[in-house]
Amino acid sequence: MANLKEIRNRITSVSSTMQITSAMKMVSAAKLKKAQDAITEMRPYSDKLTQLLQSLSASLDAESASKFSEQRAVNKVLLVAVTSNRGLCGAFNSNIIKEVNRLSTEKYAGKDVYYLAVGKKANDAFKKTNKVIANKSDLFDNLTFENVAEIAQTLMTQFVEGEFDKIEVVYNQFKNAATQVVTAEQFLPILPIESDEKATNVDYIFEPSKEEIIEQLIPKSLKMQLYKGIRDSFASEHGARMTAMHKATDNAKELRDQLKLTYNKARQAAITNEILEIVGGAEALNN
């Protein structure tokens, strides 16, 4: 009977776990809807702003180019790793950490690589290197454009002052609830747009000058680019957690059913043994 008691305890434990994972799945589903709407509405504006900025930058000569477009020898690199503060979201965080490590050891081998952690998991992964310049884990407590803009402004200042020669943002791009695409996006310097015959043949009239427009658009575009990346990661986190908790709930249900079947078989065998003992004892008394 001790075996039956052990199985009952496991059934109770698995059932409790299943209730927790099911509740977490529903919470993430509710948060995902809001985060998904936010990133879906933001993308067209952000993409069009970036496209406009790149088109204007491509039409300027080298002397008029912005200080944020300066291409120089890459010696010091900053990788902005965007993860979550909490786990239980599958491979969401580990994929980002693997990609950042790959960039450090392969793409930027021999370079001086530093990290900016946006999320507790990124900070935990890279703090042992002593090259984490800042930990922005508290950003997700109040994720607003103003708070992200402060981080973007700091990055722009560090690039202009020569503290870093190149800055990349590594985050999970939201595709759908079940799919997140690990993306490494160059933040600074601004990448020149590829030549486009249709775009270059159009003669625009700018008021004020193209240089003034670009000087105003670049900081805004960079802040929006970083905000979009973090928003993408935020939506991806809830999608990954919802999917992970859905699978965990299904696995717990399957395990609970197997335990119940095992329990019923063991209980049936115990009852059968008791009946056999009673019958055997009765026959012995009759003899």
Please indicate, yes or no, if residue 179 is contained in any of the structural domains: yes
Strand runs labelled E in 131-275 = 132-135, 166-176, 179-188
Please indicate, yes or no, if residue 250 is contained in any of the structural domains: no
Please indicate, yes or no, if residue 265 is contained in any of the structural domains: no
Please indicate, yes or no, if residue 100 is contained in any of the structural domains: yes
Task: State the CATH number of the domain containing residue 172.
Answer: 3.40.1380.10
CA-to-CA separations, 33 to 25, 27, 28, 178, 244, in angstroms, rounded: 12, 10, 9, 13, 17
Please indicate, yes or no, if residue 257 is contained in any of the structural domains: no
Write down the pLDDT at residue 200: 47
Write down the pLDDT at residue 277: 87
Write down the pLDDT at residue 164: 96
The residue annotated as part of the active site, out of 77, 82, 89, 117, is 89
Taking the C-alpha atoms of residue 65 and residue 122, their distance in angstroms, rounded to an integer, is: 34
Structural domain range at position 148: 23-244
Please indicate, yes or no, if residue 200 is contained in any of the structural domains: yes
Write down the pLDDT at residue 64: 46
Number of domains forming the structure of the chain:
1
Write down the pLDDT at residue 59: 63
The answer to whether 89 is a known catalytic residue is yes
Please indicate, yes or no, if residue 284 is contained in any of the structural domains: no
Write down the pLDDT at residue 184: 96
Write down the pLDDT at residue 160: 92
State pLDDT tens for residues 20-50.
999 999 999 999 999 999 998 898 888 888 7
Write down the pLDDT at residue 229: 94
Are the CB atoms for 193 and 54 separated by under 8 Å?
yes
Please indicate, yes or no, if residue 117 is contained in any of the structural domains: yes
Kindly give the parts of the chain with pLDDT less than 50.
Answer: 63-64, 197-201
What SS3 state is found at 169? Answer: strand
